[in-house]
């Protein structure tokens, strides 16, 4: 009997891991109503500066196009996008990131930035293009190009 209780408890542990054990990249669903576009770009800028993907991963679309300096270029789901950018930033260590142009009035808002990073201990710079798309009643990051 005691063994059975243990197994049941263990199954619950597994269940808990499966169902609830996800990284909370979703964060809060409460996306600000005003200035949400600039908020997304600001979050992206902050995240890229610190290497904290969580800062902007909640804004990823269900399918985000990602094209990176390391050759990665494809559409990725929300979860995968998080780790792909995280992995990228762990190799291309951020030094500085700044948007040099933001267009938040276009049909698909976009921003162009400059990303300075350290790769294999050497300082380099890449251009970044980020565009947004209106999806599920809010703005989402639909494309990130770093090259």
- Enumerate binding residues for other proteins (CB under 8 A): 2-8, 10-11, 14-15, 17-19, 21-23, 25, 63, 65, 67, 71-77, 79-80, 82-84, 86-87, 103, 106-108, 110, 112, 120-124, 127, 129, 131, 135-137, 142-143, 145, 147
Q: Which residue has the tokens 């030094």?
A: 95
CB of 107 to other proteins, least distance (A): 5
**C-beta closer to other proteins: residue 83 or 94:** 83
User: What's the chain's length in residues?
Assistant: 147
**C-beta closer to other proteins: residue 8 or 32:** 8
Residue 4, Cβ density class (10 Å: 0-12 exposed, 13-18 middle, ≥19 buried): exposed
CB of 9 to other proteins, least distance (A): 9
Q: Residue 47 belongs to what H/E stretch?
A: helix 36-50
CB of 27 to other proteins, least distance (A): 12
Q: Compute how many other C-beta atoms are within 10 angstroms of the C-beta atom of residue 54.
A: 15
CB contact at 8 A, 85 and 57: yes
């Amino acid at each position: 009997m005691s063994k059975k209780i243990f197994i049941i408890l263990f199954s619950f542990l597994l269940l808990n891991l499966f169902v609830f054990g996800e990284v909370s990249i979703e964060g809060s669903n409460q996306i600000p109503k005003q200035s949400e576009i600039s908020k997304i770009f600001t979050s992206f800028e902050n995240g890229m500066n610190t290497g904290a993907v969580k800062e902007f991963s909640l804004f990823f679309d269900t399918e985000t196009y990602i094209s990176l300096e390391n050759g990665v270029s494809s559409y990725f789901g929300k979860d995968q996008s998080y780790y792909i950018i995280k992995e990228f930033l762990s190799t291309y260590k951020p030094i500085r990131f700044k948007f040099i142009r933001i267009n938040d009035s276009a049909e698909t808002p976009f921003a162009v930035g400059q990303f300075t990073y350290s790769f294999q201990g050497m300082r380099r710079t890449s251009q970044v293009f980020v565009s947004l798309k209106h999806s599920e009643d809010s703005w989402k990051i639909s494309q990130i190009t770093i090259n």
